[in-house]
Chains A and B, each alone.
Chain A
């Protein structure tokens, strides 16, 4: 075909210039691909962060609001000003008149030496009635809802003699439903050994433990762990997705509600309550409406959707997101403009140099549109070469970022994070910000490759169009006079 032959020969003649233009376009396109890949990586990291903070498959969380402060908060260096009052239905730790610690249980106090004081408490949040979970699950456009009681077990073991100091051991416990639900802390977990809970386990002293916690405490199926002086048998060991920070132990919700004790100003009891509801909407489009409806029905609770959580996430992942969306985008645009301008100028210069050729073709009776098509074809071919090279450069750029980029961290305020593990301090329960570290893994999608090809071809066509504009204005006699 004459068109192809002519195009091929012309590009071969102007090989150096064609390569130069293609490389210019490739540079611009490669930068766009790299920035897009980095941006996709950051988005993926953000998704990972949100999953870690929020729970896989969860669209909305509902948590109880924190009541007015009574004890010291997380990070506070001030000691608690109030001592927890004695409890009639659980252990308390008190100071004896002689100054030693004593453990009181239902009004009966013993010297703490040689004993363990074990507390299982929820975070410092208003409890949510368990019936609310069912009410939320019944809402229109809600696919599933699961209530969870997040707890922290802290055990202080006092030595039998005055030599030595008390040992504090804490671990986190989630009281979860024993039926299957598509949302909740176990929704994304995979069982490593044993099995998940069954409905028959709802009141049993059985536990599922996280694989990390099991490994560090040498727990196996059949091992026992003590929670609030009750021995639970391990029936399953689970692995949660990477980047998440799961609780250490899961026990049936009913058992958690029975064993846990809330501080007095939260009512002292957590019976029939949860402090976190995981909600999955029927579709992504339904999330705002569902969030609005839950907020309307539960005005005193904190209702958080993934989107609002994302806005509150700070840290290097947030900085990286800003970097890619602001600086990266504009640098890419500027380089693209420079590449397009360079391609256009070089193409126009080439057209000017070929005035004789085009004048001759016009004299031979070639219609202007046919000559323009020839020039556009050449520019398009250069654009396609630039696209191919640009995608290659983009992959290289993404590989470099993956190799050298540090992991990103994200910090979210605790008030918005339902599944967040709590920080326990002696004398009370306090909440702190949660930081998750995720790797930055740039990824190049088909969409990005298509964008790169379109951009490079657009650059080539723009250059060709400007050259064509000159050709269209070229009068054959004038062109031939230039030759002469």
Chain B
């Protein structure tokens, strides 16, 4: 699935250059669940952005199914994101003016799916996260956990190969966190997804097949969990 070779990412900061990633080598297999831990500012989100084609590496290569993402044009990367990659964000990032169903439906807009098909798939996705009865609610009318479930439904409605989750439980209480992680784990198993999850939480990281730790832009794979 993913093969990262000597990946570096540098940002210009004032007159200086900050190295967010420093020679990351990583291989992620199809259907694998990888958790990435690390302290704030050590490159976790940067790694996730490169994996999701949201940003480009300064050096090295990021390959997805043999395709070098750095060599793709912006439109090709956009297409790739629309078809193959689902994102879940810490702050949910739902469109505040759209209902839960319309937020989920928005992920199908770039795929040019017919309206009837969009409605059906949206309903199924909301059903799969247990929010069929909240379809018409605006994000502001939902709890944090429900909003994150909507975001998960939005990420999965297009049936992606990869699910990238950036601190998906960072804004949730402990009980809700467990619900969401349980849901993600269920969906990962059920759908054969490749799940890459960035988290601060060691207990969540332990549930992944492998855990990597980002320290000063360098990734170390430390653990292989029983899920493997």
Interface residues of A (CB under 8 A from B): 1-2, 5-6, 9-10, 12-13, 356-357, 359-368, 370, 475-477, 480-481, 483-484
Say yes or no: is B5 at the interface (Cβ < 8 Å to chain A): no
Say yes or no: is B79 at the interface (Cβ < 8 Å to chain A): yes
- With contacts A363-B52, A365-B81, A476-B54 taken as known, whether A370 is within 8 angstroms of B110 at the C-beta atoms is yes
Q: A483 contacts B93, CB within 8 Å?
A: yes
Number of residue pairs A-B, CB distance < 8 angstroms: 88
Which B residues touch A362, using CB under 8 A? Answer: 54, 78, 81
Q: A370 contacts B97, CB within 8 Å?
A: no
New A-B contacts (8) at CB < 8 Å, excluding given A364-B107, A367-B75 = A10-B97, A12-B97, A361-B95, A363-B87, A365-B78, A366-B109, A480-B54, A484-B45
Q: B95 contacts A360, CB within 8 Å?
A: yes
Which B residues touch A5, using CB under 8 A? Answer: 98, 102
Which B residues touch A2, using CB under 8 A? Answer: 102, 105-106, 109, 115, 118
Q: B93 contacts A360, CB within 8 Å?
A: yes
Q: A370 contacts B55, CB within 8 Å?
A: no
**Among candidates B52, B55, B85, residue contacting A475 with C-beta atoms closer than 8 Å:** B55
Q: B97 contacts A364, CB within 8 Å?
A: no
Q: How far is the CA of A59 from the CA of B191 in the complex (A)?
A: 86
Q: Separation in Å of the A375 CB from the closest CB of chain B? A: 13
Q: Separation in Å of the A4 CB from the closest CB of chain B? A: 12
**Among candidates A9, A363, A370, A484, residue contacting B81 with C-beta atoms closer than 8 Å:** A363
Q: Separation in Å of the B103 CB from the closest CB of chain A? A: 10
- With contacts A13-B96, A13-B97 taken as known, whether A477 is within 8 angstroms of B110 at the C-beta atoms is no
Q: B97 contacts A6, CB within 8 Å?
A: yes
Which A residues touch B109, using CB under 8 A? Answer: 2, 366, 370
Q: Separation in Å of the B96 CB from the closest CB of chain A? A: 7
Q: A477 contacts B81, CB within 8 Å?
A: no
Say yes or no: is B176 at the interface (Cβ < 8 Å to chain A): no
**Among candidates B87, B97, B115, residue contacting A9 with C-beta atoms closer than 8 Å:** B97
Q: How far is the CA of A336 from the CA of B94 in the complex (A)?
A: 37
Say yes or no: is B1 at the interface (Cβ < 8 Å to chain A): no
Q: Please give me the 5 A-B residue pairs with the lowest Cβ-Cβ distance, nearest first.
A: A365-B82, A9-B97, A477-B55, A360-B93, A477-B54
Which A residues touch B33, using CB under 8 A? Answer: none
Q: How far is the CA of A368 from the CA of B93 in the complex (A)?
A: 18
Q: Separation in Å of the A225 CB from the closest CB of chain B? A: 82
Q: Separation in Å of the A473 CB from the closest CB of chain B? A: 12
Q: B91 contacts A367, CB within 8 Å?
A: no
Which B residues touch A6, using CB under 8 A? Answer: 95, 97-98, 102, 106
